[in-house]
Homo-oligomer: A and B are copies of this chain.
Amino acid sequence: MTAKILSGNIFAQQIKDEVAVGVEAFRHRHGKSPTLALVRVGEDSASAVYVASKVKTSAELGIVSEHVHLADSTSQAELLTVIDDLNSRDDVDGILVQLPLPTHIDEHLILERVSAEKDVDGFHPTNVGRLWQGANSLTPCTPAGVIEILKRAGISIAGANAVVIGRSNIVGKPMAGLLLKEGATVTVCHSRTRDLAAVASKADILVAAVGRAALINRDHIKDGAVVIDVGINNLSDEQSVRTMFEGEELERRLGAINSKGFTLVGDVNPKDAKAKASFFTPVPGGVGLLTVAMLMKNTLTAAERRRSANSK
């Protein structure tokens, strides 16, 4: 079997197009645009890139974004005040605090302070609880994006045997909750799992989110499985790269190691996935591309729910 590659940009574009239509309708009804506040503390360079990308996509879809950039020396109390202010402002529909925060700030405390109704990252415990209780919630962007890919690719989830590898709060656990809500039989594996290959190779839908380059190989993949690779790892080992890619792609990857010192790979060996799976999301170019699109969707959802709650 040669796996069909599920390219993230097609689905991301579909979702962004739909959000743009929704934003236009929202503006018509409410006389304002959905508004997203992006809070960034300090000078982490990756964070700067991520926030810039969110600002740009917001603008493309008609969402107003407000970038609150605070100095690295901002105290926890000051940051809490900023969040309280954004919570109380009626014009702000969504609040995203870009992680990581400087180490003198308690991330958990900050994330719990964001109003659950404006928590477009879906990290607030109330939203996590609503997800698991099957109620309306704002759901974490990456696992919500995986569900969008599966549905839009016509992959049936109900009754499927789904295995999630990884139990992080950001991906693994909410992924399990969403798959369960859709009717899959769900297994969560992690570092303490005894025979990972035995469990994973039973999966109709296999989601890898552990953060270890090419951990998942042919031994873990059932013939015809749908393999979703959420991992993003910098790999500098040429030997490993040679087991993962071939032909032109291999040359490009080796070139990247030569020039930048690493190449970006997922948790799944793509050569093995292509050989055994029915569908496979590549890294880069797969799941990662949906994350910002889902953030935009959450912002619109938050705006719509707030306005309909206010008008009751």
Chain A 52-65: CB-based contact to B (< 8 A → 1; otherwise 0): 00000000000000
For residue A125, CB closer than 8 A to chain B, the reply is: yes
A interface size (C-beta, 8 A): 33
Residue from the list B124, B125, B194 in contact with A185, Cβ < 8 A: B194
Interface SS of A by simple majority:
mixed
Given contacts A129-B128, A135-B125, A194-B159, contact A185 B185 (CB under 8 A): no
Query: Does any Cβ of B come within 8 Å of A100's Cβ?
Result: no
A183 interface contact, C-beta 8 A: yes
Known contacts A188-B185, A189-B185, A199-B185; A132/B135 CB under 8 A? no
Interface string of A161-185 (1 = CB under 8 A from B): 1000001010001001100100111
A127 to B135, CA, bound (A): 14
Is the C-beta of A47 less than 8 angstroms from some C-beta in chain B? no
Could you jot down 18 A-B contacts, CB within 8 Å?
Answer: A125-B130, A125-B135, A126-B126, A126-B129, A127-B129, A128-B132, A134-B169, A159-B194, A161-B194, A161-B199, A176-B188, A180-B188, A183-B192, A184-B192, A185-B188, A185-B189, A185-B194, A187-B188
